[in-house]
Chains A and B, each alone.
Chain A
């Protein structure tokens, strides 16, 4: 019998970034995250990924660009070489617009030609497309794992990143989701684009904050929603934005729990600012 007590995984947060409506990067979002300014949710796409060569950049859509931008900003904040980081990419829906366009093409009346789907559409439809473009852009030969867990995606991706750190290596965590096109939008409403990037490393008391993470079959301890009402609405409408509770605490330099729902249990998350 080995009914061991759950182990707690630790990491330092070396870099953090986010992008969403009215949340254009970490510095620009601090006033909203700390409650000093009201959230004004105007939509603006992140800058084009200049890190990609023009021919690759042309093939990227809004979803990949969102992921690449938060990944790049998190790594820049950590002042680390992006080619030296293992990666975890999480997204509940992946590239909904691309998958939707393929399904549209497959279904259109008269679509009886041999080549209905474009090669670029097809390779962009894989769930690891953003991770693939990131590795190309940064010439990073290290592996990336990519996952999708519906409304548990934030918790699942954070846990996977903590496992990389537990094995001794720093890791880039990038979690993103984007509104789905019609006719999915009604079935799976994602209300606004949101992405978060974190660089996590084995604890060395050198980061912005320290994380302690564990798995529990119990529900989250305490509220999971961000304090600010507008951010709470965003978190309820985008799986990646469940990270906003943690991001608020980081901005406020506030210690405490910011657990996340994780299937029928929870991921216990405790943050301690440096």
Chain B
């Protein structure tokens, strides 16, 4: 494919607000996880964005107020992202700017709160706005109004691959000629549904998650929002999407295919689309959730393509698993790493799993990164791989 320039990017996570906070955390190897004070019953550690609680949405958009849209708004305001979108609107017209964003649970945290206030009549409280908060479309409605976008829009929900998948569908919108630029990305916020869901699957690590560790014992759930502006003729873009691939495991709803067949397919397709051989890749940023099964599968899949020649690591030790937002969050972090010339080695790992055969990196290293592969996988057996590089 012709490289798709990324005109602007931003993210917010437990590492902070904006790109620089993420690069600083990675460089200093200072993670953002803390003991779970959101729902202590579940235990484990979380990647919480403290600023979200005091944040208020702009006047006129109050009906969209929920944790998820607040996270999204925090991101919009960072790194001049909203201004970059406004500039694209004036270049092309607001009807030529699409929006494809992902979330797994949208504003369900607002519904959890409303459920606690169900009256004796069995009714939800009158002030609970389903369409403005919990509905998947609330993220798109909020963003279209906040950014003044009039182009085609969609909210993708493919579990933990949601915001990675957006890069593919966003690129398609531009390739089709329907749009000149597309805002992609998404948001996922802490809620009791996912924390208890992962607890039911016994996938919550008691301490901070440590992907690829011999003793890894699960995930830390995090929250994040982030956005990227895809624009074919972007002025001054530093980073570009070079390729993408996607597949379905067709194996099980919540267990990955043991040999990583779907992951191999997604990575291979992404490399083919980018026109790159595995040897041209300088870093594979793993999905790397910290569960026994995911990391073992991913190691096999990565080794099948890259052998032990290419450094691989996960960034979830810094931010936790931000679920549907991990694709955009980790793309933004990779963008910073490419500009900085930095490979972020896994955080918090004592000893890499001795059964792993790929080249897992647990310390930072300097590298003139040309091409980076990033993986996002999810329930339902979805696999998405992106290839990023300099524009």
Per the 8 Å Cβ criterion, residues 47-93 of B in contact with A are: 91-93
Whether A107 contacts B112 in the complex (CB less than 8 A), given A148-B135, A149-B137, A149-B140, comes out as: yes
Instruction: Tell me if B364 is interfacial: C-beta within 8 Å of chain A.
Output: no
Per the 8 Å Cβ criterion, residues 124-170 of A in contact with B are: 124-129, 131-133, 135-136, 138-150, 152-153, 156, 159-160, 162-164, 166-167
A144 and B158 CA atoms in complex are apart in Å by: 8
Chain A window 1-42, contacts with chain B (Cβ cutoff 8 Å), 1 for yes, 0 for no: 111101101000000000000000000000000000000000
Contact between A103 and B176, CB atoms less than 8 A apart: no
Contact between A187 and B128, CB atoms less than 8 A apart: yes
Contact between B197 and A141, CB atoms less than 8 A apart: no
Contact between A4 and B177, CB atoms less than 8 A apart: yes
Contact between A129 and B380, CB atoms less than 8 A apart: yes
Contact between B92 and A2, CB atoms less than 8 A apart: yes
Contact between B153 and A156, CB atoms less than 8 A apart: yes
Contact between B193 and A125, CB atoms less than 8 A apart: yes
Residues in B whose Cβ lies below 8 Å from that of A162: 176
Instruction: Tell me if A119 is interfacial: C-beta within 8 Å of chain B.
Output: yes
Interchain Cβ contacts within 8 Å, total number? 229
Contact between A160 and B169, CB atoms less than 8 A apart: yes
Instruction: Tell me if A214 is interfacial: C-beta within 8 Å of chain B.
Output: yes
Residues in A whose Cβ lies below 8 Å from that of B137: 92, 148-150, 152-153
Residues in A whose Cβ lies below 8 Å from that of B144: 263-264
Contact between A122 and B123, CB atoms less than 8 A apart: no
Per the 8 Å Cβ criterion, residues 161-198 of A in contact with B are: 162-164, 166-167, 182-184, 186-188
A9 and B95 CA atoms in complex are apart in Å by: 17
Instruction: Tell me if B305 is interfacial: C-beta within 8 Å of chain A.
Output: no
Complex interface: stretch among A72-80, A110-118, A224-232 = A110-118
B161 to chain A, nearest CB (A): 9
Instruction: Tell me if B159 is interfacial: C-beta within 8 Å of chain A.
Output: yes
Complex interface: stretch among B114-122, B282-290, B294-302 = B114-122
Which residue on B lies nearest to A143, using beta carbons?
B246
B358 to chain A, nearest CB (A): 22
Chain B window 194-221, contacts with chain A (Cβ cutoff 8 Å), 1 for yes, 0 for no: 0011111100000000000000000000
Which residue on B lies nearest to A263, using beta carbons?
B153
Which residue on A lies nearest to B176, using beta carbons?
A166
Which residue on A lies nearest to B116, using beta carbons?
A107
Contact between A117 and B157, CB atoms less than 8 A apart: no
A9 to chain B, nearest CB (A): 6
Give the total of B residues in contact with A, Cβ under 8 Å: 76
Chain B window 351-381, contacts with chain A (Cβ cutoff 8 Å), 1 for yes, 0 for no: 0000000000000000000000000001111
Contact between A141 and B253, CB atoms less than 8 A apart: no
A163 and B199 CA atoms in complex are apart in Å by: 38
Per the 8 Å Cβ criterion, residues 219-267 of A in contact with B are: 262-265
Whether A124 contacts B41 in the complex (CB less than 8 A), given A147-B157, A187-B130, comes out as: no
Which residue on B lies nearest to A86, using beta carbons?
B246
Partner of A262 from the list B152, B251, B262 (CB cut-off 8 Å) is: B152
Which residue on B lies nearest to A1, using beta carbons?
B91
Instruction: Tell me if B261 is interfacial: C-beta within 8 Å of chain A.
Output: yes
Which residue on A lies nearest to B121, using beta carbons?
A183
Contact between A141 and B262, CB atoms less than 8 A apart: yes
Per the 8 Å Cβ criterion, residues 118-177 of B in contact with A are: 118, 122-124, 128, 130-131, 135-137, 140-141, 144, 150-159, 165, 168-169, 172-173, 175-177
Whether A106 contacts B193 in the complex (CB less than 8 A), given A128-B382, A142-B247, comes out as: yes
Residues in A whose Cβ lies below 8 Å from that of B252: 136
Which residue on B lies nearest to A153, using beta carbons?
B137
Contact between B172 and A163, CB atoms less than 8 A apart: yes
Instruction: Tell me if B96 is interfacial: C-beta within 8 Å of chain A.
Output: yes
A112 to chain B, nearest CB (A): 6
Partner of A148 from the list B136, B169, B175 (CB cut-off 8 Å) is: B136
Instruction: Tell me if A57 is interfacial: C-beta within 8 Å of chain B.
Output: no
Give the total of A residues in contact with B, Cβ under 8 Å: 74
Contact between B157 and A184, CB atoms less than 8 A apart: no
Chain B window 260-300, contacts with chain A (Cβ cutoff 8 Å), 1 for yes, 0 for no: 01100110000000000000000000000000000000000
Contact between A149 and B248, CB atoms less than 8 A apart: no
Residues in B whose Cβ lies below 8 Å from that of A271: none
Contact between B157 and A126, CB atoms less than 8 A apart: yes
Which residue on A lies nearest to B199, using beta carbons?
A114
Which residue on B lies nearest to A152, using beta carbons?
B137
Residues in B whose Cβ lies below 8 Å from that of A215: 151-152, 178
Contact between B108 and A99, CB atoms less than 8 A apart: yes
Contact between B169 and A163, CB atoms less than 8 A apart: yes
Instruction: Tell me if A51 is interfacial: C-beta within 8 Å of chain B.
Output: no
Contact between B176 and A163, CB atoms less than 8 A apart: yes
Instruction: Tell me if A48 is interfacial: C-beta within 8 Å of chain B.
Output: no
Whether A142 contacts B91 in the complex (CB less than 8 A), given A3-B96, A131-B380, comes out as: no
Residues in A whose Cβ lies below 8 Å from that of B193: 99, 102-103, 106, 117, 125
A136 and B253 CA atoms in complex are apart in Å by: 8
Instruction: Tell me if B309 is interfacial: C-beta within 8 Å of chain A.
Output: no
Instruction: Tell me if B330 is interfacial: C-beta within 8 Å of chain A.
Output: no
Whether A6 contacts B178 in the complex (CB less than 8 A), given A126-B380, A139-B250, comes out as: yes
Contact between B156 and A145, CB atoms less than 8 A apart: yes
Having A143-B384, A146-B158, one finds 6 other A-B pairs with CB under 8 Å, namely A3-B92, A128-B378, A141-B249, A149-B137, A183-B124, A187-B130
**Mind listing 23 A-B residue pairs with CB under 8 Å?**
A1-B92, A102-B197, A103-B193, A106-B193, A106-B196, A122-B200, A123-B254, A126-B104, A126-B379, A131-B158, A135-B380, A140-B250, A141-B261, A141-B262, A141-B265, A143-B246, A143-B247, A148-B157, A149-B136, A163-B176, A184-B130, A215-B151, A263-B141
